[in-house]
Amino acid sequence: MYVAVKGGEAAIANAHALLADRRRGDRSVPALRLDQIVEQLALGVDRVMSEGSLYDRELAALAIVQARGDMIEAIFLVRAYRTTLPRFGYTKAIDTGAMLVERRVSATYKDLPGGQLLGPTFDYTHRLLDPELAAGGDVAEPLQRASEAEAMQRVSAILAREGLIEPDGDMPQDHVPGDITREPLEFPMARDIRLQALSRGDEGFLLALGYSTQRGYARNHPFVGEVRIGEVELELDVPELPFAVPLGSVRVTECQMVNQFKGSAKAPPQFTRGYGLVFGQSERKAMAMALCDRALRASEFGEDVVAAAQDEEFVISHSDNVQATGFVEHLKLPHYVDFQAELDLVRRMRAEHDARENAGKAEEKREAAE
């Protein structure tokens, strides 16, 4: 039970003023500009956009500043703003096969059609702090080469030609994708709904669950079939026009995990898929999402559900960091009535316990005197 807190307006106003002061920090230090955050803290901006379900770099940067760098608070701010926006319709499904690729790696084929593109990655850095960054020195321009924009074949298509991987699946013409931002979650979920929830789920939570599947809690042996990062075009069908209207492009990260499957009565031995897709550059999140997606398909393949990562209701119900934050942090709200009730109960229980203990000691003394 909650009770209203009265007479606190002045204290709350002062707390807001102090928050603004701490957010600004030392006035002799130049204030952060949004373009600095967008350009130099791009991966943090991408995470806020992805888990906030809103592709807008400047708004994500503003949320990071307003939240003093607290990513979950920034995600909360972006989601709250998102609810105020009008909705004009749904774009067509993006074609990641036509992506303008910036980074593309595969752990399954060394020499794959289109080649491997390392792109901007921490994978080969030494993880040593670089003091030169603190000095703000000039950075050399990267080497570039001219290349033609061409579609890169997916690694899964190579396996599909041999019939060694499950079919990708065709979307039924009359299928209307669900929308978790407008409809309450219901279990069990269709896979498209589940992927939506995973895509905006907390990166740390999904990473931990994905890690658990590699340590034996789901018994899947994954290979990164492919991770690709790049720009994809968005198109919108307009009823008055006979063609789709291009709206622009967004950067996304896509991961396809390839998992061994020993087969069942309905399917032969083959590889199966785990899929991840997120806004911006976030391959760790996309890989964790793909691991969780495959683990959550256990029932679909007739596998025993024995681990937390395979429990759909557990994973989806606890993956949303905004909901989790709200429930945990609500414990700071006044619970005076509840606590007083429990305090009274504990006092009565303690009094009864002490009375029994005193009675027992008195009985022991009488027996000793006899």
Contact in structure between 12 and 346 (CB atoms under 8 Å): no
The alpha-helical segments, DSSP class H, found in the chain are: 9-24, 34-40, 42-52, 57-66, 71-82, 131-135, 155-161, 191-199, 203-214, 283-295, 312-318, 321-329, 336-369
> Taking 60 as the threshold, does the pLDDT of residue 7 lie above it?
no
pLDDT, one tens digit per residue, over 257-276 is 999 887 776 778 889 999 99
pLDDT, one tens digit per residue, over 66-100 is 999 999 999 999 999 999 999 888 899 899 989 99
pLDDT, one tens digit per residue, over 303-332 is 899 999 999 999 999 999 999 999 999 999
**Strand ranges in 160-237 using DSSP code E only, listed in sequence order:** 222-237
- Rounded to the nearest angstrom, the gap between the alpha carbon of residue 313 and the centroid of all alpha carbons in its chain is 16
Distance of alpha carbon 205 from alpha carbon 185, whole angstroms: 19
> How confident is residue 1, by pLDDT bands cut at 50, 70 and 90?
very low
> Taking 80 as the threshold, does the pLDDT of residue 2 lie above it?
no
> How confident is residue 4, by pLDDT bands cut at 50, 70 and 90?
low
Question: What value does the mean pLDDT take over residues 335-362?
Answer: 94
Note if the pTM is more than 0.85: yes
Question: What value does the mean pLDDT take over residues 193-214?
Answer: 96
Distance of alpha carbon 139 from alpha carbon 133, whole angstroms: 9
Question: Of 154-158, 232-236, 365-369, where does the model show the most confidence?
Answer: 232-236
Question: What value does the mean pLDDT take over residues 275-286?
Answer: 97
Distance of alpha carbon 275 from alpha carbon 244, whole angstroms: 26
Residue 33 DSSP label: P
Contact in structure between 254 and 109 (CB atoms under 8 Å): no
Distance of alpha carbon 166 from alpha carbon 184, whole angstroms: 31
CB atoms within 10 A of CB 108: 16
Question: What value does the mean pLDDT take over residues 277-297?
Answer: 97
Query: For 60-82, b where at least 16 C-beta lie within 10 A, e where not — what string?
Result: bbbbbbebeeebbbbbbbbbeee
Contact in structure between 256 and 273 (CB atoms under 8 Å): yes
pLDDT, one tens digit per residue, over 16-71 is 999 999 999 999 999 999 999 999 999 999 999 999 999 999 999 999 999 999 99
pLDDT, one tens digit per residue, over 106-162 is 999 988 888 899 999 999 999 999 988 888 888 888 887 776 666 788 888 888 888
Domain ranges of the chain: 12-82, 96-120+149-326
> How confident is residue 3, by pLDDT bands cut at 50, 70 and 90?
very low
> How confident is residue 251, by pLDDT bands cut at 50, 70 and 90?
very high
What lies within 8 Å, CB to CB, of 57 at 6+ separation is 38, 45, 49
- More confident site: 1 or 336: 336
CB atoms within 10 A of CB 7: 6
